[in-house]
């Protein structure tokens, strides 16, 4: 297994507060890795830093051997890292197929975009198929349900053919069936690409995760299979300790799960 | 190999009624208006068409691209002054300086003026100069993420600075008087109504061209991208696009349109001066677009024509009242009809459709007919 993403000593601080406080993380090619941790653990900030949205204070992020820190957001995307956001952000005025088409043409020069779209490119049609939105192709994205928007976003990523996908809570707010479908979609994607998924829902993580990294207060707490992570006394301490003083805002999935199986 | 699908596959090609509508309006502009309007009325209407060209540009930059430009007067002015300088030199005759320069004691033609002796410099300059300025400004500010109110204030400051420059350099620019007293353009007498009618046709054709250009841009992938930047610039960055280039292009095109409008304005109205392009006129230009409806491309044209017609006819009768009315209209539209005139037309049309289609209305209609059928 070769490492595709190597994060070393990454620090991101906001006005002195270290949201990410020295993270070392290696993601291997073809992995489907889940990032979990209590609220404020620095999961999203970590992704924000890797993708150039937030500036790192120290450390390095090497993707396929190339340093990513210092690149602009769109440059990182062009290197082959795609991401989604916690709240799906699609272009509501445009139709589903237009959204995906827009994502597909990102490597083309601006001058070639001055012509009208004629027909649907194969890659766009394939992405529509992959995320199961074929029948909604001509619908305005604004009319989609929350779950469909999330799929549309994943479709917009897929059509760009990235090597590494960073998904921020893709199943948040989804129904049970939608979660299952999304999980299967993620596993299918992981056959050909590398995926890092931030997730709060422990049931979902247990069903679909192979390898899990636990983040806590900006640092990697532990890493391993879901069983190993759950058995780790430090992880139990963090989650149970937080669960005890209700103010911690521990995600409900984690909380109930820890009570029932670990406790 | 591409998969062709029905519906979405054709992109957003204009429907047949759109084309017929455009053809009808074009016919009205090119045949009906010249046939029915007096020389004076047609001259006024030509001026409104110039304003409509600016409005299409603002619609593109602001309505479609979300860049609220409060300095469009600058680009209008650059086009106007470039044309004015050429006409002024034509009026002065070869080797002489324009009249206002000799009044200010400038005896030798300034370096900046010299290229404008030639039509082949002056005519391209009316579009290229504003576009170059907009591209340079846009590149500097959009790259740093300046947008929203900050961008608006910046462009307004540009308009203010431009006026100060024009007024301050009286010997070179004609000061507050601006450039005026053109008797002829390209060998045609500007006072001759026939030539003014030709100028009207040229302006109307230019407006049509500008409108179609904006339409084409918005129907292209680039148009989708521009709307996407307006609605979620951050997201567009994470699609791998650099929003700066996208915004600069729309802003530059809109500046070119304003420049073209300025160049047409000068021979039509016979003057270009700082009072026509400062902060207040620049804001008025945005008001036309807001009133007409910035979310469509027809809206800005409608707004420019309607507001300027109202301004001419009302400010004759209530000289001091117009500005208040304009302000009030702006507030009302922003508050209650953000889609403007064009939005109201669209709303009325869909309401009519709904009325026609709703079963309740059909039942009511049937009942009414029945009642009518009963002999009294």
The CATH number covering residue A59 comes to: 3.40.50.300
Nearest neighbour of A121 by CB, restricted to B2, B216, B235: B2
Could you tell me the pTM of the whole model?
0.85
Residues of A in contact with B217 (CB under 8 A): 114
**pLDDT tens digit sequence for B263-274:** 999 999 999 999
Residue window 240-299, chain B: list those with CB within 8 Å of chain A.
240-242, 245-246, 249
Q: At what angle do helices B243-269 and B39-58 cross, to 10 degrees?
A: 170
Question: What is the nearest CA distance from B366 to chain A, expressed in angstroms?
Answer: 35
Number of domains into which chain A is organized: 1
Which region, left, alpha or beta, applies to residue B222 given φ > 0 means left and ψ of -120 to 50 means alpha? Answer: alpha
Q: Which residue of A has its CA nearest to B219?
A: A116
Residue window 224-243, chain B: list those with CB within 8 Å of chain A.
224-225, 227-228, 231-232, 234-235, 237-242
Closest CA to B263 of B277, B245, B246, B252: B277
Domain coverage including residue B50: 40-336
What single string gives the DSSP state of each residue in A4-47? EEEEEEEEEEETTEEEEEEEEEEEETT-EEEEE-STTSSHHHHH
Structural element, H or E, at residue A60: strand A58-63
Residues of A in contact with B240 (CB under 8 A): 74, 77-78, 106-107, 160
Q: Do B221 and A72 touch (CB under 8 A)?
A: no
Place of tokens 């049970």: A176
Q: Which residue of B has its CA nearest to A79?
A: B240
Nearest neighbour of B224 by CB, restricted to A78, A89, A98: A98
CB contacts < 8 A (A, B)? 106
Residue B12 lies in a domain: no
Residue B16 lies in a domain: no
Higher pLDDT, B371 or B344: B344
**pLDDT tens digit sequence for A31-84:** 999 999 888 888 999 999 999 999 999 999 999 999 999 999 999 999 999 999
> Distance (Å, rounded) from C-alpha B209 to C-alpha B203?
10
Number of domains into which chain B is organized: 1
> Distance (Å, rounded) from C-alpha B69 to C-alpha B285?
10
Place of tokens 């007409």: B292
Closest CA to B308 of B279, B330, B288, B283: B288
Residue B176 lies in a domain: yes
Closest CA to A5 of A221, A165, A116: A165
Residue B22 lies in a domain: no
> Distance (Å, rounded) from C-alpha A260 to C-alpha B17?
65
Q: Do A118 and B10 touch (CB under 8 A)?
A: yes
Confidence (pLDDT) at B21: 87
Q: What is the ipTM of this complex?
A: 0.82
> Are B276 and B50 a contacting pair, CB within 8 Å?
no
Least confident piece of the model among A67-76, A248-257, B345-354: A248-257
Residue B34 lies in a domain: no
Question: Using CB atoms within 10 A of its CB, is residue A11 exposed (0-12), middle (13-18) or buried (19+)?
Answer: middle
Residue B31 lies in a domain: no
Residue B350 lies in a domain: no
Closest CA to A19 of A62, A48, A60: A48
Residue B319 lies in a domain: yes
Structural element, H or E, at residue A62: strand A58-63
Half-sphere exposure of B186 (CA within 13 A, CB side): 10
> Distance (Å, rounded) from C-alpha B49 to C-alpha A259?
73
> Distance (Å, rounded) from C-alpha B100 to C-alpha B243?
45
Q: Do B239 and A118 touch (CB under 8 A)?
A: no
């Amino acid at each position: 297994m070769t490492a595709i993403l190597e994060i070393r000593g990454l620090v991101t601080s906001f006005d002195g507060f270290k949201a990410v406080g020295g993270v070392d993380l290696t993601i291997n090619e073809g992995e489907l890795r889940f990032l979990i941790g209590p609220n404020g653990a620095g999961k999203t900030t970590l992704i924000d830093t890797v993708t150039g949205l937030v500036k790192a204070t120290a450390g390095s992020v090497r993707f396929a051997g190339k340093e990513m820190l210092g690149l602009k957001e769109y440059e990182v995307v062009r290197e082959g890292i795609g991401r989604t956001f916690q709240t799906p952000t699609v272009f509501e005025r445009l139709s589903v197929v237009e959204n995906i088409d827009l994502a597909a043409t990102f490597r083309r020069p601006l001058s070639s975009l001055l012509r009208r779209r004629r027909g649907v490119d194969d890659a766009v049609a394939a992405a529509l198929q992959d995320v199961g939105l074929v029948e909604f192709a001509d619908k305005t994205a604004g009319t989609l349900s929350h779950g469909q928007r999330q799929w549309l976003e994943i479709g917009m990523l897929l059509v760009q053919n990235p090597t590494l996908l960073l998904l921020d809570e893709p199943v948040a707010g989804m129904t049970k069936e939608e979660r299952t479908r999304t999980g299967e979609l993620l596993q299918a994607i992981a056959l050909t690409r590398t995926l890092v998924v931030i997730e709060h829902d422990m049931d979902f993580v247990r069903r679909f995760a192979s390898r899990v990294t636990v983040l806590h207060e900006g640092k990697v707490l532990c890493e391993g299979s879901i069983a190993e992570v759950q058995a780790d006394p430090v992880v139990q301490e963090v989650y149970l300790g937080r669960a005890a003083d209700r103010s911690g805002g521990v995600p409900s999935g984690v909380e109930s799960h820890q009570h029932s199986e670990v406790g | 190999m591409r998969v062709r699908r029905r519906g979405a596959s054709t992109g957003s090609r204009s429907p047949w009624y759109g084309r017929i509508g455009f053809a009808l309006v074009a016919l009205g502009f090119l045949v009906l208006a010249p046939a029915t309007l007096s020389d004076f009325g047609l001259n006024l209407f030509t001026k409104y068409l110039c304003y409509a060209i600016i409005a299409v540009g603002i619609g593109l930059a602001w309505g479609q691209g979300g860049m609220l430009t409060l300095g469009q007067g600058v680009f209008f002015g650059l086009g106007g002054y470039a044309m004015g300088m050429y006409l002024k030199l034509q009026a002065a005759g070869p080797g002489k300086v324009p009249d206002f320069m000799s009044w200010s004691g400038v005896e030798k033609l300034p370096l900046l003026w010299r290229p404008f002796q030639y039509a082949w410099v002056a005519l391209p300059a009316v579009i290229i100069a504003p576009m170059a300025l907009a591209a340079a400004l846009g590149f500097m500010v959009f790259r740093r993420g300046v947008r929203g109110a900050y961008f608006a204030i910046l462009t307004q400051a540009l308009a203010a600075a431009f006026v100060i420059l024009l007024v301050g350099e009286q010997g070179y620019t004609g000061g507050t008087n601006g450039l005026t007293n053109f008797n002829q353009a390209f060998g045609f007498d500007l006072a001759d109504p026939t030539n003014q009618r030709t100028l009207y046709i040229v302006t109307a054709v230019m407006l049509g061209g500008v409108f179609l250009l904006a339409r084409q841009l918005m129907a292209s992938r680039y148009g989708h991208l521009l709307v996407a930047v307006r609605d979620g610039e951050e997201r567009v960055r994470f699609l791998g696009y650099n929003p700066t280039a996208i915004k600069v292009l729309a802003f530059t095109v809109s500046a070119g349109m304003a420049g073209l409008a300025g160049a047409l304005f000068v021979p039509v109205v016979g003057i270009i001066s700082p009072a026509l392009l400062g902060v207040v006129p620049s804001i008025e230009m945005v008001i036309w677009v807001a009133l007409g409806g910035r979310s469509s491309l027809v809206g800005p044209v409608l707004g420019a024509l309607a507001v300027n017609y109202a301004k001419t006819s009302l400010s004759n009768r209530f000289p001091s009242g117009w500005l208040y009315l304009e302000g009030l209209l702006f507030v009302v539209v922003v508050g209650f009809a953000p889609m403007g005139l064009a939005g109201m037309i669209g709303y009325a049309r869909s309401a009519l459709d709904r009325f026609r289609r709703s079963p309740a209305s059909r039942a009511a209609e049937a009942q009414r007919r029945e009642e009518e059928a009963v002999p009294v």
